[in-house]
Structure 1
Amino acid sequence: MSNSFFQPVPGTVLPRFAGVPTFMRLPYLPPDDPRVGEVDLGFYGMPWDGGTSNRPGARHGPRALRDASTMIRAEHAVSNVRPFEAMNCADLGDVQINPVEQDSSMAAITKFVGEMLARDTRPFGVAGDHLCTLPVLRAIAESGVKPALLLYDSHTDLFPPYFGSPVLTHGNPFRMAVEEGLIDCERSVMIGMRGTMYDDSDRVFGAEHGITIIPMHEAFEAGLVATVERAKTIIGDAPTYFSFDIDFIDPAFAPGTGTPEIGGPTSAQTLDMIRAAGGLNFIGADLVEVSPPFDNGGITSWLGASVMFEMLCLMAH
């Protein structure tokens, strides 16, 4: 059960537009606060978009999502899960990245998450472009765990580095994760891939290594919830990292992202697909690629914050 200190500030006590915004109005704990050791699940920001190959702006995602998430309340309307009572949650701040230097920023994320894992705190990252997931998986591997990956995304991110350069982008994190042996490929599932392609080499690479890739049109044909049930059968009881790219959702509902792809699920369908993933052994998660400069009226940030709460409720079990 959660300590009362870790309860969000209710909107009936302080208006939701007031106060200093934190993820879901949870307490903010700096690294030197002794109560950090009591945190079961920690939200943290990764304000990095130096790996973006198209429209930038995701570095502003953590701040926008903190603001949007002040609208989150205590209880899930369908499952009645009250995650903040089930576990101690807190906002642990942002990783201190260097916005113009990749290697040190990636290392800083790995160190930050590694310190969370050493305290048995499950990480929930808010980013930032999708390259941010790679250093998180490195930290998990260093802790001795090789998780399955559940990815909701419109892209596989299994391509080798672009432009003939060794510098990584948000199109490469899972290619590198496979090559570095960071994930259990045979029990990893990617759902939602769509859009025009350079070629199919990313999907061939994934298949060669045993990753199950379910394009969006196949998910629609099979049924969205049925597709997730298939994924759960593949993943089984493996420790699982859940990575959610906001461009998984159709850009009609989530326009504020760097590489939008039409033909995705609606916001309501997305909620069904997240809820269907309940019962998996989630050891960590992230929500990435929200780009506020391309958002309309904050709808992408609000949808992103809502997705975070759905994922949090799964982890509360």
Structure 2
Amino acid sequence: MGRYVPHDSLESPRFSGVRTFMRLPNARDLPNSDAVVVGIPFDTGASFRAGARFGPEGIRSASHLLRPYNPLQGIGIFDHISVTDFGDIPIVPGYIEESYEAIRRELEVIHRAGVVPIALGGDHSIALPELRAAAAIHGPLAIVQFDSHADTWDSYFGKRYNHGTVFRRAVEEGVLSPQQSVQVGMRGSLYGASDLEESRRLGFEVMSTQTVRRLGPEETVARIRERVGESKVFVSFDVDFVDPAYAPGTGTPEVGGFTSAEALELLGGLSGIDLIGGDVVEVYPQYDGPAQITSLLAATVAFELLSLLASVKKANVEQSGGTEDGLDH
């Protein structure tokens, strides 16, 4: 069959229809998909504001503004990959470990089918079951984490599972390879110097906001690409990477961050990496105001991740001299 593509917004208005991501079909047809967008409406792991459970809904609504051609990458996404909106994973509100198991179970099925999931969060604690599911199929992963917080505490209020401990747990469980991983954009006040030193001790490369600004986007991207090398890569984008002037609708905002344009430039520079999954997390629509600017940022980040997948698919087909009629599962 043909590719799954969005509804044609030149035939039906973008403000109409059911709110799926970019107006894609709501389908769970993994054999005929290259990638799926999946909602994970979980926020029990949050430590300050609550409400990221409404993030997938807000991101999907804002995504109807997006068009299928990405001028930064020079690619029409759906000319090269078949994508559906997979719907939401049925988490268990208030119960993090039960929700983790539900998330892992569903995402592992997606990875096993050779399909790349792009998740809409949800707070950042969802990254742990995402990584568990991906590593079960692909082995330990490299992560590129765009964030203002390292999320490598050992515990918070004596609890091991929340959005501040997720990447420490991932290293301990062996689902991440920290020597191929990088945390980009760290900034803001800390409980102590050890907050970031723990990340380095675990093996991550830590690039603070000040470091990224000193290096500039080209050198930052070069450092990221050198770090991940040929590894299977998971990209995790916390919207608090961006300054709250551009992304107010988040759970733990930190001033002094990046613009939306700077964030998209860094993401676009990752073209060609072996992306096997990604997410955009910590969107709180109730703090976003009527303009939906944080939701639109998050939708555009997911759009950029799909663009990276489409670029790789296009390059692989061109290199092999084949056609894109079939799916590469």
TM-score by length of 2: 0.92
* Percent of matched pairs sharing the same residue: 39
Task: Say which of 191, 197, 208 aligns to 2:201.
Answer: 208
Letter in 1 for 2:301: V
Task: Say which of 173, 178, 184 aligns to 1:191.
Answer: 184
Is 1:6 matched up with 2:4? yes
RMSD: 1.2
SS at match of 2:22: helix
The answer for the alignment partner of 1:250 in structure 2 is 243
Task: Say which of 257, 262, 282 aligns to 1:264.
Answer: 257
User: 1:123 deviation in Å?
Assistant: 1.1
How many Å separate the matches in 2 of 1:154 and 1:212?
14
The answer for the alignment partner of 1:276 in structure 2 is 269
Task: Say which of 127, 134, 137 aligns to 1:140.
Answer: 134
The answer for the alignment partner of 1:177 in structure 2 is 170
**Of 147-156 and 78-87, the range deviating more from structure 2:** 78-87
SS at match of 1:6: coil
Letter in 1 for 2:294: T
Note the alpha carbon deviations across 1:141-193, whole angstroms, 9 max, x for none.
Answer: 22242110001000110111211234x21111101001111111111011000
Task: Say which of 13, 18, 21 aligns to 1:23.
Answer: 21
Letter in 1 for 2:240: D
Q: Residue 141 and residue 266 in structure 1: after superposition, are their counterparts in 2 closer, same or farther (change >3 A)?
A: same
8 Å CA contact 2:3, 2:78 repeated in 1: no
Equivalent residues in 2 for 1:89-238, closer than 5 Å: 89-166=83-160, 168-238=161-231
8 Å CA contact 2:138, 2:232 repeated in 1: no
How many Å separate the matches in 1 of 2:226 and 2:125?
27
- Listed as ranges, the gaps of 5+ residues in structure 1 are none
SS at match of 2:198: helix
Is 1:310 matched up with 2:308? no
How many Å separate the matches in 2 of 1:22 and 1:191?
30
Letter in 2 for 1:160: D
User: 1:225 deviation in Å?
Assistant: 2.7
**Of 299-308 and 3-12, the range deviating more from structure 2:** 3-12
8 Å CA contact 2:147, 2:240 repeated in 1: yes
Letter in 2 for 1:178: V
Note the alpha carbon deviations across 1:119-154, whole angstroms, 9 max, x for none.
Answer: 111111110000001001111122242110001000
The answer for the alignment partner of 1:66 in structure 2 is 60
Note the alpha carbon deviations across 1:102-134, whole angstroms, 9 max, x for none.
Answer: 111110000010010111111111100000010
Letter in 2 for 1:200: A
Q: Residue 164 and residue 79 in structure 1: after superposition, are their counterparts in 2 closer, same or farther (change >3 A)?
A: closer
Task: Say which of 296, 301, 305 aligns to 2:295.
Answer: 301
User: 1:5 deviation in Å?
Assistant: 4.9
User: 1:224 deviation in Å?
Assistant: 2.5
How many Å separate the matches in 1 of 2:101 and 2:270?
31
Letter in 1 for 2:7: V
TM-score by length of 1: 0.95
